[in-house]
Amino acid sequence: MNDSERIQIRALGRRVLRRFAAHKAGFALSLLTVVVSTGLGISGPLFLRVIVDEAVPQRDRELLMWMCLGMLAVGIAQSGFFYLQSRLTNSIGLGVVHGLRVDVYERVQSMPITFHAGRSGAEVQTRLASDIGGISDVITFTAQHALGAMTMVITIGTAMLILSWPVAVVAIGLTLGLVIMNQHYAERQRLLAVEAQEHTSEMMRLTGEHLSLPGVLMGRTLRCWDGQRDRFRASSSAIADLTIRERSMATSAESIIGVSFAAIPPVVYWMAGGGFTSLSIGTAIVLVVLQLQLAQPIQALLGLSTSVRRSLAHFDRIFEYIDLGPTAALPAPRNPHTGAQVPAVGITLREVSYRYPESGRSTLRGIDLEFPAGSTTIIVGPTGSGKSTLGYLVAGLLEPGAGTIRVSGGDEKPSETVLLVPQEPGIFNASFRDNLLLARPGATEAELREVLSRLALDDLVSSFPEGLDTSVGERGYQLSGGERQRLGLARALLSDAPVVVLDEVTSALDWATARTVQAALEELRGNRTTVVISHRLSGVKDTDRVVVLAEGLVAENGTHGELRTTPGRYSDLLRMRDEDLSEAGTTP
């Protein structure tokens, strides 16, 4: 073990121990049971010695009976302590593991949106499942096993020294040799484990990407499924290969340790026979039994150092997430029983600029905009001009790099006032009902049905035998893109957010459905402030406000009535839309 590893293990040890602080009393009790049951463990052979050396040769029945009863009582007491110890160890250790898991989840959940944009869900899953799984045993059993094993080594070593120091010296010398040899194997095992863990993460990432619906579709339509399969195969085969090498390494170490321990009984018997020092038969048997008992804690201690070192890579990956920062302030949870009264509030942006952390240039620059309470604003502009980024900023999902975003008419923050409906709404693998209730947990059956009917989803829902309780499948993939978008809009209709940002929410709808949805959106507006990011430009009214973004700047800003008759970007957009529609024989 090198210096940096030692420092790393110490620092990790301190962090992990702090997590046991909440379970101090239980932890101390569990360690006490370990010491007591270990102490009891070595008294068995001492009873045996009296039986062999005194009770049997002297035919002393009473002594024999007491010694046998003593052995039995020790066995029963040991089992009781073992049960208690195992209950305590598991509940404390798994409590600490649970705490780590929740910390990772909470930290990732509160990271800024930009963190999630640059990461696959599979990566977070790997940390929660594979890495936490990898440290679970180390956290649960290390302290107890280490203490138990050390107590056994000390007590057995002392007993052997008292019984016969030459045999004890041989056993201790052998132990030191084994420790040195084991270090060598453990280091090689650790390197193989780190490599295997990297391949496991890669394999889980590939599985998440390739075996999700988009991945399967890509594999089939681009006909690259064989390449996908090859990459998976290579990753899986590397894991198998590394694991075989790692296990062979462990088995070699165990075999050498086993052979070394097997050599001791003949030595003891040779000594007992007068080869070096003469021992009674009982002492010789007890020494052999104790030596066999010594093998187990020594192997446990050697195994512990290996598993602690192997778990370092897992610990690193877990604490890397727990130490992530800075986090975004999460909005206060919604009151489940509101939903009827929507207050009128507006949003004001002053000199707002934003640059993504990984980007070399600002996506938005010096944006001055007013979204008055109850108004409807359409945001248009070429692709990549910053429309969605503006939507994220208004919804408080991104913090502006410069400038301010304020809610007028209320003390709340944008993140507590604004609901963003993205183009691909987050539909969960749950029923229609559960997906809708996320927006208003207290909504009645009648309210849910009314919303579905307004968005022309009622026929779809009724076509399933289980109606509202039908599961919509992983990410809503049992629904069409347009149905998913309408389900997202249904949530917006149910929510009590006074400001709603709709980001391309009708892009997957045909014109006829888009009109139905448009009518529902008219009702959604009410006295809500609505910001609509749209390429489609359907159903825009003269009084609606229009903001044209170009290269991160506000290029035009006025009402639809004003801008449509003024030569400029917006009137050009309307002209292009009308030409497209007349070619397709449709009217906006």
Ligand X SMILES: Nc1ncnc2c1ncn2[C@@H]1O[C@H](COP(=O)(O)OP(=O)(O)OP(=O)(O)O)[C@@H](O)[C@H]1O
Q: Give me the DSSP letters along 8-41.
A: HHHHHHHHHHHHHGGGHHHHHHHHHHHHHHHHHH
Minimal distance, residue 420 CB to ligand X, in Å? 12
Q: Give bridge partners of residue 547 from the DSSP assignment.
A: 379, 557
Q: Is 357 left (phi over 0), alpha (psi -120 to 50) or beta?
A: alpha
Residue closer to ligand X by CB (options 105, 356) is 356
Distances (CA, A) of 95 to 5, 13, 102, 453: 27, 17, 11, 47
At 447, phi and psi to the nearest 5? -65, -40
**CA-based nearest residue to 181, from 277, 302, 3:** 302
Minimal distance, residue 129 CB to ligand X, in Å? 26
Minimal distance, residue 543 CB to ligand X, in Å? 24
At 335, phi and psi to the nearest 5? -75, 120
Minimal distance, residue 150 CB to ligand X, in Å? 52
Minimal distance, residue 486 CB to ligand X, in Å? 20
Residue closer to ligand X by CB (options 114, 201) is 114
Residue closer to ligand X by CB (options 66, 356) is 356
Contact 45, 155 (CB under 8 A): no
* Nearest-5° Cα angle at 425, 422 to 430: 165
Say how far apart CA 353 and CA 359 lie, in whole Å.
Answer: 13
Minimal distance, residue 354 CB to ligand X, in Å? 9
Contact 123, 201 (CB under 8 A): yes
At 420, phi and psi to the nearest 5? -105, 125
In one-letter notation, the amino acid at residue 206 is L
Residue closer to ligand X by CB (options 225, 356) is 356
Residue closer to ligand X by CB (options 339, 381) is 381
Q: Give me the DSSP letters along 493-550.
A: HH---SEEEEESTTTTS-HHHHHHHHHHHHHHHTT-EEEEE-SS--S--TTSEEEEEE
Say how far apart CA 84 and CA 34 lie, in whole Å.
Answer: 9
Residues in touch with ligand X (CB under 6 A): 114, 117, 356, 358-359, 363, 381, 383-389
DSSP code of residue 580: H
Say how far apart CA 113 and CA 357 lie, in whole Å.
Answer: 11
Residue closer to ligand X by CB (options 279, 501) is 501
A 10 A CB-CB count for 482 gives 18
Residue closer to ligand X by CB (options 41, 396) is 396
Minimal distance, residue 424 CB to ligand X, in Å? 12
Residue closer to ligand X by CB (options 85, 388) is 388
Residue closer to ligand X by CB (options 136, 389) is 389
At 365, phi and psi to the nearest 5? -135, 130
Q: Give bridge partners of residue 349 from the DSSP assignment.
A: 369, 405
Residue closer to ligand X by CB (options 470, 507) is 507
Say how far apart CA 421 and CA 340 lie, in whole Å.
Answer: 19
Residue closer to ligand X by CB (options 277, 359) is 359
Residue closer to ligand X by CB (options 114, 470) is 114
Residue closer to ligand X by CB (options 245, 355) is 355
Per-position b or e across 237-252, b if 16+ CB within 10 A of its CB: ebbeebeeebeebbee
Residue closer to ligand X by CB (options 23, 387) is 387
Minimal distance, residue 423 CB to ligand X, in Å? 8
A 10 A CB-CB count for 518 gives 16
Q: Give me the DSSP letters along 415-478.
A: HHHEEEE-SS----SSBHHHHHHTT-TT--HHHHHHHHHHTT-HHHHHTSTTGGG-B--GGGTT
Angle between helix axes 264-272 and 225-262 (nearest 10 degrees) is 0
Say how far apart CA 390 and CA 555 lie, in whole Å.
Answer: 14
In terms of Cβ atoms closer than 10 Å to its own Cβ (0-12, 13-18, 19+), residue 95 is middle
